[in-house]
Structures are given as structure tokens and as C-alpha cells.
Amino acid sequence: MHTKTSKPRSAPKSAPQADIQTVSVITLGCSKNTTDSEILMGMIQAHGMNFTTAREADAVIINTCGFIDKAKEESIETIFEAIRQKEELAGEGKTQKLIVAGCLSQRYGDDLKQEMPQVDHFFGESDFENVVKSLTPNFKYSLLGERVITTSPHYSYLKISEGCDNPCSFCAIPLIRGGHRSRPAEKLVEEANFLVSKGVKEIVLIAQDLTDYGRDLTGKRGLADLLGNLSDVRGLEWLRLMYAFPSKFPRDILPVIAERENICKYLDMPLQHASTNVLKSMRRGITRKTTEGLLDEIRNAVPGIALRTTFIVGYPSETEADFEELCDFVREQRFDRVGAFEYSQEDDTYSYILGDPIPAEVKQERAARLMAIQREISLEKNEAKVGKRFKILIDQTFTDEQGNLEYQGRSESDAPEVDNEVFLKSTRPLQTGDMVLAEIYDAAEYDLFGEVV
């Protein structure tokens, strides 16, 4: 979980005046929330308001996350922090409007209203219009504005659908975001062209379930066609796929990934577990055997593909034997990137009735054991890259202790914000967003060190 605060930007001159001049948007949670905030900021900017820091702003908007306990706690802490600031500023004679939106508010809005009367408005997820209406009396539907890119300017997320139709027992997302709705392909290609026109080199495709794209539009899965259309966008260097769902996986995307140079040989596919007993209770619609078959197919169809996945440990019915099976699976499959989450018992989900019998310390210990296995695999895989050359996208520049300019970037096998980093030396100055070729001379568990060639 991470928080981002928007920086000051000037509003287009033609926009109508509003009684609130400055706004701060605080985004919590996942990349899907990031894109929601960016669309909302586009509308706010189009209505003549500027962005500034939370302390300076006339209005503060918190786009919350309500996915699991840890995320909910962070959202609630952030709201209380904003309430304290609002009261402090009121003491200095400044009236600050406080708005809470997003998944936590969508899920628990009525309870939050009771507990936090200091908050001026609570809105659900993607309720952009009403948020803007609460900021200005001059709301105009026509003023959608341009999405404001809040990530580094050279990569951006593109959300291809909203909601999810899968029945995973532990997951509250369908309760928060509703059923699966694909965005029209032409709109997505238009947005991809817009992002590239703004200097974006890498587009990261996101959704709750990327692989279900198009089924609600045409009755059949259309991700393969969409990938082809997006890959044709001129100037797009990297197209990355995240949040694929394993069961009913659309195999027709594999040759598209393999053939298209600007589609990253990378796939993020949360598997959640490997024990067929646990997968069954999780209602994942797949067994260990079919998962292994799918992984073999993906690796054969796209040689050298980097696979990222995430697992849940401490699921109510997970026995020590189930967990050992998961560890064996991770040792055998040697994923490139792995994340581990501790099970969080979520209201109104299918698995809620199973209770939460596994103690927190056991969950933590299992997550640590799983990540210890992965750390060794990650180091071995990184060491195997020493002496080899890779295309690296520069994310940022910094100065080392000796005052030398150094660069941090990512390879095709690294998604922004969640995967490994590559630290580079270069005899020539580089800019963020540059795509360079580098030779790796050293490796650590989660980082690589290289020289630009």
C-alpha cells in the first residue's frame, strides 16, 4: 500500500471560476485507484481548480482503499490525519472541505458517516461527477478534461475494465466494484494514444481480471485483439499485462505477446495458492495440476517470459501440509516475482463463515517462510543475468555519496512500484524516460547493477 499526494499544476485558462480554488487528492490502494484519481483530477482541473499540497488546499479528497484489513486501517488513519489537519486549520481561520471517496467509502459509507461527522462528504468509488459537484456550483458534464498523469511521466496505467465476475471466496472486490464491465476498445486505443502523446513510453494494462476483457461486450474474450490494437499505437515502447486470472485463461493472447516486440515478455497472474484443497475452498476454479499445465503452456509459447504472482497464506482451511505444498510449488516453478499476503477475513465474502482460525503470528511466519524461498530464487535468477545486456527504462536519477550521477530503472521483467530495480552507471547523462541498453555487472536478491553500453 502506498500514498501519493498531487503536486501544484495550472488550470486551463478557459475553465469556469469555482469557489474552491485549490484541491489535494490523496490516493491510497492499487493502481486502479490511481487511474480513478487521475480521471477525477482531469475533471477538477477542467472546472478551473488547481492542485496543491494537502495543507494548502481549500479541499482535500481522499480516494480510499477498502480491500483488506491493512488497507482499511491505512485509509482510516489517513482520514483521521486529515480531520486533525482540518480542525487545526479551522483554528487558523481556514475552512477546509474534506471529502472521502473510493472503496472504503463505497463499502462502509453509512458507518463512516456516523463515526466521522467532520468529513463533509462521502462518495463511492468512481463517483467523479458528484465529487466535482461538491466542489463547484458550476459543474458541466462536458468538462471531462484530460486525465492527469500522477505516476512518473514515462509510464502510466490503463484500466481496461472495472469490476469482477469471479467468485473467489476471500475477495470483497465484486461487492465493492460490482460485476465485470469492459471499456470499449476504441476508447482504450484513444486513451493509449493520449498517454503516448504526453510522453508515456510504458503502458501497464490493469483490471480486476484482465483476461475477462470483452466477454461482456461481444460474448467472447477479446484481450488478444485489444493487445494487437494497443501494440499498434505509434511510439508505445512497452505494453505490460497485470492481473491475469488463471482459470479460463485466453490462450490466444500468447502468440500476440510472443510476436509483438513492444509487448513485454512479462505476465502478472495472481494464483493465490497451489494446494488443490485450498484452491477449491477459495473457489478459484482451477487445480494445482491445471495451473502447472497453464504455466508450462505460457513458458513454451513465450520463451523467457517473466512471471509474477501472489499468494495468500493463512487461509482458514490451510493446513501445515497445504502450506508445505505451496512452498514446494514455489521451489519448483521458480517464478520471477512473488508477493505474499496474509489472509484477511472480509465481511460478506464467501469465506467469512469459515472464521479466521489461523493465528496472526502463524500467518506472518508462513509469509516470511514463503518469501525466504523466493528470495533465494530471485538471487539465483538475478546472478544468472550478470554479464548479459538488457533494455532498461530509466525511472529516476540520483547522486551517490561521491556525488556521481546514478540512475534507477527497470527491465522488461519489472513492473513499476512492485518489482525489482536496476541501478545504472553511465558515462553519458541520461533523462528519466530514456530507454537504454545496459550490461549487468552485479546482482542482489531484488536488484541488479549495470553499466550503460
Residues found near ligand SF4 in the complex (CB under 6 A) = 164, 166, 168, 171, 173-174, 208-209, 245
Minimum distance between the CB of residue 350 and ligand SF4, rounded to whole angstroms? Answer: 10
Residue tagged 506472518 (cell numbers): 364
Q: What values do phi and psi take at 61, rounded to 5?
A: -115, 125
Minimum distance between the CB of residue 168 and ligand SF4, rounded to whole angstroms? Answer: 3
Minimum distance between the CB of residue 65 and ligand SF4, rounded to whole angstroms? Answer: 13
Residue tagged 480516494 (cell numbers): 63
Distances (CA, A) of 8 to 39, 56, 147: 16, 10, 15
The nearer residue to ligand SF4, 148 or 171, going by C-beta atoms, is 171
The nearer residue to ligand SF4, 166 or 397, going by C-beta atoms, is 166
> Positive or negative, the Cα torsion across 16, 18, 24, 29?
negative
Distances (CA, A) of 296 to 10, 303, 329: 51, 10, 13
Q: Can you name the residues that pair with 97 across neighbouring β-strands?
A: 59
The nearer residue to ligand SF4, 60 or 173, going by C-beta atoms, is 173
What is the radius of gyration, based on Cα positions, of the chain? 23
Contacts with 314 (C-beta within 8 Å, 6 or more apart), sequence order: 342, 343, 358, 362, 363, 366, 367
Minimum distance between the CB of residue 179 and ligand SF4, rounded to whole angstroms? Answer: 10
Taking Cα atoms as reference points, which of 272, 244, 285 lies closest to residue 329? 272
The nearer residue to ligand SF4, 209 or 322, going by C-beta atoms, is 209
- DSSP result, 259-294: H-TTEEEEEE---B---HHHHHHTT-S--HHHHHHH
Distances (CA, A) of 380 to 276, 324, 391: 28, 22, 20
The nearer residue to ligand SF4, 166 or 262, going by C-beta atoms, is 166
Give the integer Cα–Cα distance in Å for 36 and 427.
40
Minimum distance between the CB of residue 173 and ligand SF4, rounded to whole angstroms? Answer: 4
The nearer residue to ligand SF4, 164 or 422, going by C-beta atoms, is 164
The nearer residue to ligand SF4, 277 or 310, going by C-beta atoms, is 310
Minimum distance between the CB of residue 32 and ligand SF4, rounded to whole angstroms? Answer: 10
Minimum distance between the CB of residue 281 and ligand SF4, rounded to whole angstroms? Answer: 14
Between strands 181-182 and 161-162, the pairing is: antiparallel
Distances (CA, A) of 214 to 16, 171, 222: 38, 22, 5
The nearer residue to ligand SF4, 105 or 208, going by C-beta atoms, is 208
The nearer residue to ligand SF4, 104 or 164, going by C-beta atoms, is 164
Minimum distance between the CB of residue 169 and ligand SF4, rounded to whole angstroms? Answer: 9
Minimum distance between the CB of residue 427 and ligand SF4, rounded to whole angstroms? Answer: 45
Longest dimension (CA), the chain: 65
Q: What values do phi and psi take at 204, rounded to 5?
A: -105, 115
